[in-house]
A and B are shown apart, each in its own frame.
Chain A
């Protein structure tokens, strides 16, 4: 298993937003998170990435298992495409960025500073960053925002290659990627029954904790 969670509860701003979430992601599996805005897709992904602690329950990941890609691409405006990618590759101890550039169709843009890229091109560069991490589990938050149809297909192809190589992906997205093998997880049933349920009695408790 590349990721297991056990009766996970997550909170945002002190408010429990998802409860009792147990899931397992195996190599070769793609899981798409669905749910209305504000249900906690981003918070769930950030919790799984280790950026915030779970309110309850446990997340089990192999060490150095996951690569996270959030709403922001983490690009430096004054660095070129190659410099941006080379930096992230070096951070993850990788050297080859050619495959990522080819996979995301960035070959014609390598010497351009990131500030001169269009929104979709920036997103493609942000996704190319995932390919140079060498991590097996991808945690993707709205990966297809501002991508055109051709780029979405390109991205779906990259995900497919990643899955075939024994990787896995967990993504929050509203559009259909055309990934036949992707399973869909609707988060709505995991919403706490009443907003105040299980919150503890003292609303100021956290402030004095």
Chain B
């Protein structure tokens, strides 16, 4: 399992692995927003938590189809399915590798981009913390979507359509926690809900995703 994690991280950081792509996309989305809504500080400060959350979510979506599709193409997925590692473990490890190479960098970059959006000072901690709690759910739900579409050629678009609605609860509670934090209100409840979504998806989705892969490999 550790070997698989290290391999996936190594593949993501090598040429053509897509590491940095999500980060660059996140940067561009956040930079574009002030051009769209105008440079007025008050407006930007109000929408900053939401924009950063939506941006992180879309950036996360970019690299989802790589989770299983590449392994399917070169035959690795067949071999992993017959290997001594349980397929549920393979899914969980791949989701973790996706989080480490996408969700975690996005979380760390978000406060920097918050400056661009005039995020109030009180909001930085809460934004980072909510992303830290919520992005693992994005990776896990995304891995499930990728498992569902692994048998399809060019399944990327369908994957986005499947996964985006599933991201809604995470987005609602994540953005709400960040927003309340920025306004200086108590954000305990949305954070708890967010943690619950993450814990729930990590507990359930590896099994669902492994079942989907088994069906797709037939």
Question: Which residues of B are found within 8 Å of A51, using beta-carbon distances?
Answer: 78, 81-82, 217-218
Chain B stretch 191-218: residues in CB contact (< 8 A) with chain A: 217-218
Q: Give the segment of A88-96, A160-168, A197-205 that binds chain B.
A: A88-96
Determine if A76 and B84 form an interchain contact, defined as CB atoms under 8 angstroms apart: no
**Complex interface: chain B residues within 8 A of A150 (CB):** none
| Proximity bits, B69-89, A CB within 8 Å = 1, else 0 | 000011110111111110000
Measured CA separation A141–B55 after assembly (Å): 45
Interface of B, secondary structure class, is: helix
A74 touches B75 (CB 8 A): yes
Q: Are A92 and B10 in contact (CB under 8 A)?
A: no
* Interface stretch of the complex, out of A31-39, A64-72, A151-159: A64-72
B84: A residues at CB distance < 8 A = 64, 91-93
Interface residues of chain A: helix, strand, loop or mixed (majority): loop
Minimum distance in angstroms from A10 CB to a CB of chain B: 11
Residue of B with least CB distance to A76 = B11
Best-surrounded residue of B10, B73, B76, B81 (most CB of chain A within 10 A): B76
Query: How many B residues touch the partner, as a band?
Result: 20 to 34
Q: Does any Cβ of B come within 8 Å of A190's Cβ?
A: no
Question: Size class of A's contact patch?
Answer: 20 to 34
Cβ contacts under 8 Å, B2 to chain A:
90
**A residues near B75, Cβ cutoff 8 Å:** 70-74
In the bound complex, residues from chain B placing their C-beta under 8 Å from that of A78 are 11, 14-17
Partner of B74, one of A73, A88, A90, A93: A73
Assess the A67–B3 pair: CB atoms within 8 A: no
Question: Footprint of A on B, CB under 8 Å?
Answer: 2-4, 7, 10-11, 14-17, 73-76, 78-85, 217-218
Interchain residue pairs A-B with the least CB separation, the first 6: A72-B75, A90-B3, A78-B14, A74-B76, A74-B75, A74-B79
Residues of A within 8 A of B (CB): 46, 49-53, 64, 66-79, 83, 86-88, 90-93, 129
